[in-house]
Amino acid sequence: GAVVSQHPSWVICKSGTSVKIECRSLDFQATTMFWYRQFPKQSLMLMATSNEGSKATYEQGVEKDKFLINHASLTLSTLTVTSAHPEDSSFYICSASRLAGVPYEQYFGPGTRLTVT
């Protein structure tokens, strides 16, 4: 149990376009979902935390108008990178915590590699 999927697994887009990444908890209801970005050979940096039905909480330095997060249900959160630029190219990973189970344990998706040309 506790499987998280992401779609797409990789995407290439042109500069100036928007890209939507989906994060789904497949077999559990997620209280909270998290979005991270990871540059090559670096650690994960938390971008934002989202709870179902409420606005996401963004970390300092993360532009909320650029990285739109929607958490419409207990099993789905989306991250939209708006007006993407080459510097937005990165590995984006989501995670989810479930309503029941080990407190604060996060289950991670497989990641989405975004390349902006």
Partner 1 sequence: SQQGEEDPQALSIQEGENATMNCSYKTSINNLQWYRQNSGRGLVHLILIRSNEREKHSGRLRVTLDTSKKSSSLLITASRAADTASYFCASNTGGFKTIFGAGTRLFVKA
Is residue 100 near partner 1 by the rule CB under 8 A?
no
Burial (0-12, 13-18, 19+ Cβ within 10 Å), 85? exposed
> Is the preceding omega at residue 103 within 30 degrees of 0, hence cis?
no
Q: In angstroms, give the least distance from the CB of 45 to partner 1.
A: 8
57-70 burial code (b ≥16 CB/10 A, e <16) = ebeeebeeeebbbe
Instruction: Return the residue matching tokens 């209801």.
Output: 29
Closer residue to partner 1 in complex, CB, 109/116: 109
The answer to whether residue 11 forms part of the interface with partner 1 (CB under 8 A) is no
Burial of 2 (0-12, 13-18, 19+ CB in 10 A): middle
Q: Which is nearer to partner 1, 22 or 108 (CB)?
A: 108
Which amino acid appears at position 62 of this protein? V
Does position 66 bind partner 1 by CB under 8 A?
A: no
CB of 74 to partner 1, least distance (A): 15
Q: Which of 93, 101, 115, 117 binds partner 1 (CB under 8 A)?
A: 93
Which segment (12-20, 26-34, 66-74, 79-87) binds partner 1 by CB under 8 A?
26-34
Q: Which residues bind partner 1 (CB under 8 A)?
A: 4, 6, 31-32, 34, 36, 41-46, 49, 59, 91, 93, 95, 97, 102, 104-111, 113
